[in-house]
Amino acid sequence: MGETPDPVSSDASAAGILVPARITLFGFDVVPANARIEARSTGWRARRASIALAAGLIVAPAVGLVPPHAPWAVAALGMGLVMARKRWAEVHTLHLVDGACPRCGESVSLSRPARLRHPHPISCPSCRYELALSVDL
């Protein structure tokens, strides 16, 4: 009864590994941070890309029934292609950021997991400045 569960293994959303990162804002000192990222396999990326592509192919004929037919179908196919490209490009997923804003010192976090970009843009919840997160892979 007095045994406490391991917080890392009991957290279902705790995926990936914790890596050092830096939060930068032009004109301010670099702030060290931690980021939890998850490497995505080629199979995962291909599966996600094909799901997005299939969704575009399924939706296109359905929305093509609505006048003026062609633009809706082309837009659905285009959205499927864009989403498939984004899924394929998701080599790493960024799950968590633990750091502070270089300008105001407020803690910054992610609203939801996202594809890791280099540098990854995050905004400060306090001063609303666009910060750049650089992850050391």
- Which residues bind to Zn ion, rule: CB under 5 A? 101, 103-104, 106, 124, 126-127
Rank residues 73 and 101 by Cβ distance to Zn ion and give the closer one.
101
Separation of alpha carbons 81 and 57, rounded Å: 9
Task: Note whether 134 and 118 are within 8 A (CB).
Answer: yes
Report the largest interatomic distance among the alpha carbons of the chain, rounded to a whole angstrom: 67
- Nearest approach in angstroms of CB 26 to Zn ion is 13
Rank residues 51 and 100 by Cβ distance to Zn ion and give the closer one.
100
- Nearest approach in angstroms of CB 105 to Zn ion is 7
Query: Hey, what amino acid is at 3?
Result: E
Task: Note whether 120 and 96 are within 8 A (CB).
Answer: no
- Nearest approach in angstroms of CB 30 to Zn ion is 14
Separation of alpha carbons 21 and 59, rounded Å: 40
Rank residues 127 and 137 by Cβ distance to Zn ion and give the closer one.
127
Rank residues 34 and 50 by Cβ distance to Zn ion and give the closer one.
34
Please give the structure tokens belonging to residue 125.
């919840």
